[in-house]
Structure 1
Amino acid sequence: MSFTTGGSRWSDVGLATGGRGIATCGQFLTATTLTLTLQSSGAGGRAVAGVLLAGTLPLVVLAPLTGRLADRVDSRNLLVGAGLVQSAICLALAYAGHPLLVVGLVALLASGLAVTQPVLSALVPSMVRPADLPKATALNQTAGLLGMLAGPALAGFLVGGFGTRIPLQIGAVSYLALVLAGLLIRTRRGGARRAVPAATGDAPAAVEDWRLRRDPLLLAVVATLAGVMATVGAISVIEVFYVRETLGASASAYGLVTGAWTLGVLCGAWIFARLARRFTDDGALVQGGLLLLAGCCLMVLISVTVPTALLLVPIWLVGGLCNGGDNVFNNIVLARRVPEAARGRAFAALGAAVQGAAMFGYLVGGLLLEVTEPRPLIAGCGVAGLLVLLAFAGPVRRTVRAERARRSEQPSGAGLATSGSAS
């Protein structure tokens, strides 16, 4: 619904994805630098855990507010303002000493991220024609993944060579990429300006009344993804102990294993972006996403059978491939079904559900590691994820059938408007 009415603005897509990639690199550069610094200074596990929690909690708690901001305030103002504030906070982190002050500043930094994430996610679909949405989604995801890969590696090099202050100052500069992108991007949404003319059919009352729970298919996507993340998300905590202690791998091997999943996500985004162009039915994309999530869980389960860490690399590549495809499918379904003026709220709700479920997984994983070994925990995560998908498969299938029946009973024009198919 409500994509650009002319040709796709690839220059705007490039600016948005470039700004996201550089800022994400700065985000992970900052997080890794702080983690290394706190650990080496003897601050203890509580301080490190506090930093990780402070970097995630605002994305969950502030989602209702930041989603509405993304829809109601000019996207340029939000990107420029949030980018400047994040740059200043990151610069303050370079001179902060006390762990409590660091945790507080990290929470403020994450609050800025809670604003910019839905702004950029909602803005990109407004830059392109419906047929180009899969490609634009893959580009946006690629930028974030490259930032995730580069940030920690850069932090390790800079902290080892220059200490803490220099990498945090570089992180502060990286957030200015959002400011530059906000100033140069021509596409606007939110506030008085709209990227899409008002005549596109998104009635103001319908937009204002939009609620996730009123779209059963989209609600099924968010609930299923959150359920799987709540069970499989513990892997993020368990993995380092499984690779380093159970399998006896070196730090370099651990880096190779963790990078394999991210590389798989990157490849999956592009492979499934091409496939997604062939699906005009949202139900088919949702069901395809369930199969891809099942692939992720299956790879997690298979990983407990390996005798050495290097054999995890191809397994994690396949798991990441499925993960990347599911991300693309979910973003396309959301962009198609949600009115343009409500996309900020929708993307914020999706992000909050995933981050909240992941936090639950982190907590459970950390607690269970105190009482059992990593290998059975990973097996349990894989089985639990598959059981969650099995539980959701029936309701999702019934929801898809009900929507298709509803569309077949309506006139062709009304069917398109109701289903949220790209127009």
Structure 2
Amino acid sequence: MSFTTARSRWSDVWLVTAARGISSCGDFLAASALTLTLQSAGAGGLAVSGLLLAATLPLVALAPLTGRLADRVDSRTLLVVVGLAQAGICLALAHTPQPALVILLVGLLAAGLAVTQPVLAALVPAMVRPTDLPRASALQQSAGTLGVLAGPALAGVLVGGFGVRLPLLIDAASYLALVGAGLLIRTRRGGRRSVTTSGVGSGGTAPVWRLRRDPLLLATVVGVAGVIGAVGAINVVEVFFIRETLHSTTTMYGLVTGCWTLGVLAGAWIFARVAGRLRGDAALAGGNLALLGGCCLAVLASAAVPSAALLVPIWLAGGICNGGDNVFGNVLLARRVPEAARGRAFAVYVGAVQGASMVGYLAGGFLLELLAPRPLVAAAGVAGLIAVAVLAVPLAKAARAERDGRVPVGGGAEAPAPEERAEAARVPDAGLATPTPGR
């Protein structure tokens, strides 16, 4: 799958990690600030779901285009240009009082994210050996999770003390980290440039890859999207559940929301070691769906709590499952998709997930006009568990067909050599301890 055979370039991994952590913090700081501002101003569920849709629709609609951009245009050019554009949009957003214009600018920010997400996701496997991929994936999850963890908590404090403008200005500054990473990262891909990892290039014509030709990966993507679509209403309902049903403050909302993301951080490292030990892709795909089921169980359990404080252990457990699911999905995509098509593959995956999220946002917004938050939280958990049970069937069929040899690995698109897959399945010798700078 065109991993490097030389030493992994950890300096590049750390640059991507830092950029992702800082920009994620800024993104969720701004998103939480805008959500809290809407809720505090008396806006209903439709207003919150509309904001979430504006931040999601470009990720879905632009996925076919941005995935190809990530594979065909130099990664450094994309990161620098898009990062500067996003910083400018955030500055405009901080000085825009009109709701309609706010929604438009949020949509433009999401369009930039639709470009940078597949660029960064496709770069990471090009930086490391197969044995180091689970560890590198866990680092990326850790960075994003720390950003998500800090963003809502900071939003709760800053909105209460300074209003919405300061969080948006901080978000604008966070995009400069993305620009800096784009200039400093030595590994590059896209355009006429061959991927260079630790001085090793891999050129050649881009292989033909289609998701539908890989039944196991197709079943995984459909499964993840289906479950997220079923349980996704929780993203709209949670602010009303915590703030109104459980009568918590904006600061408590940020802290409780951070508990889930703290669990994601822990889960990324716990399940990175598990991913390294799983030799079969079918096991990765099955584990991916099972962990999503764990997330749904946590949502269902949270509907019974009488106070926000009791959400802490439940959402920590759900976040751990979420972190493992993210790592399993990233490793599975990197194992099965040819290097030159990974930008498109990650864009397709993100587009499917975000499209399913939009279904949840719409459902949550409309249902909040009819029902109280608590029963909606319970309904979201039940719907997610039903989706897991239903979607496990096609996944099991695809795994069985591949195991019996009726379908080639990856649908026949540049199947990796046996020795490369064996190397990718082994646990990294260096272990998966808590990362430290410069490692």
Deviations 1:275-294 (A, max 9, x none): 11111211111111122122
Give the TM-score taking structure 1 as reference length: 0.90
* 1:280 to 1:398, Cα distance in 2 relative to 1, 3 A: same
Residues 6-17 of structure 1: matches in 2 within 5 Å?
Answer: 6-17=6-17
Q: 1:42 to 1:292 in 2, by over 3 A?
A: closer
Cα shift at 1:54: 1.7
Instruction: Say if 1:316 and 1:391 are closer, same or farther in 2 by CA, change over 3 A.
Output: same
User: What residue in structure 1 maps to residue 89 of structure 2?
Assistant: 89
Q: Does the alignment pair 1:322 with 2:321?
A: yes
Moved more, 225-234 or 381-390: 381-390
Q: What does residue range 127-142 of structure 1 map to in structure 2 within 5 Å?
A: 127-142=127-142
Q: Deviations over 1:335-357 (max 9, x none)?
A: 11001111111111111111111
Shift of 1:183: 0.6
298-307 vs 63-72, greater mean Cα deviation: 298-307
Secondary structure of the residue that 1:277 maps to in structure 2?
helix
- Letter in structure 2 aligned against 1:360: V
How far is the alpha carbon of 1:304 from its aligned partner?
3.0
1:302-339 deviation line (CA, Å, top 9, x unaligned): 33333433222212111111111011001100011001
Which residue number corresponds to residue 24 of structure 1? 24
The letter of the residue matching 2:263 is G
CA distance in 2, matches of 1:177, 1:241: 33
Question: Is the partner of 1:350 in helix, strand or coil?
Answer: helix
Shift of 1:392: 1.9
Which 10-residue stretch deviates more, 49-58 or 351-360? 49-58
In structure 2, what residue type is equivalent to 1:204? T
Deviations 1:221-273 (A, max 9, x none): 11000110011111122223333444444545443432221111111000000
Once the two structures are superposed, the pairs formed by residues 115-264 of structure 1 within 5 Å of their partners are 115-196=115-196, 204=205, 207=207, 209-264=208-263
The one-letter code matched in structure 2 to 1:187 is T
Higher helix share: 1
- The code of the aligned residue for 1:265 comes to V
Look up the equivalent residue of 1:311 and give its one-letter code.
Answer: L
CA contact (8 A) 2:401 2:407 kept: no
- Shift in alpha-carbon separation, 1:419–1:214, aligned structure 2, 3 A: farther
Q: Which piece of structure 1 moves more, 34-43 or 99-108?
A: 34-43
Deviation at 1:192, TM superposition (A): 1.2
Q: For 1:228 and 1:127, how far apart are their aligned partners in 2?
A: 31
Output the amino acid matched with 2:288: G
Q: CA deviation at 1:123?
A: 0.5
- The range that moved more, 324-333 or 359-368, is 359-368
Distance 1:82 1:408, change over 3 A: closer
Shift in Å at residue 381 of structure 1?
Answer: 2.1
* Structure 1 residue 212, shift from structure 2 partner: 0.9
Cα 1:201–1:76 change in 2 (3 A) is: closer
Extract unaligned runs of 5+ from structure 2.
425-439
Q: Distance in 1 between matches of 2:60 and 2:278?
A: 31
Kept after mapping to 2: 8 A contact 1:82/1:112: yes
Is the partner of 1:8 in helix, strand or coil? coil
The residue aligned with 1:334 is 333
Provide the rounded CA distance (Å) in 1 between the counterparts of 2:38 and 2:242. Answer: 23
Determine helix, strand or coil for the equivalent of 2:303.
helix
Aligned residues: 418
Alpha-carbon spacing, 1:32–1:375, altered in 2? closer, same or farther (3 Å): closer
The RMSD of aligned alpha carbons is 2.8
What amino acid is the match of 1:345?
A: R
Could you tell me whether the CA contact under 8 Å between 1:2 and 1:196 is conserved in 2?
A: no
Q: Any conservation in 2 of the 1:4–1:195 contact (CA below 8 Å)? A: no
Partner amino acid, structure 1, of 2:226: G
Residues 245, 373 of structure 2: 8 Å contact kept: yes
Aligned identity (percent) is: 66
Separation in structure 1 between the aligned mates of residue 278 and residue 64 of structure 2, nearest angstrom: 31
SS in 2 for 1:155: helix
Distance 1:67 1:290 in 2: 24
- Pairing 1:19-98 to 2, within 5 Å after superposition: 19-37=19-37, 49-98=49-98
Shift of 1:194: 2.1
Q: Aligned pair 1:297/2:296, yes or no?
A: yes
Greater shift, 48-57 or 154-163, is seen at 154-163
Conserved in 2, the CA contact under 8 Å of 1:63 and 1:348?
yes
Does the CA contact (< 8 Å) of 2:25 and 2:151 recur in 1?
yes
- Compare 300-309 and 35-44 and name the one that shifted more: 35-44
Question: Could you tell me which residue of structure 1 aligns to residue 427 of structure 2?
Answer: none
Amino acid across the alignment from 2:115: V
Note if contact 1:2-1:202 (Cα within 8 Å) is conserved in structure 2.
no
Q: Letter of the 2:221 partner, please give it.
A: V
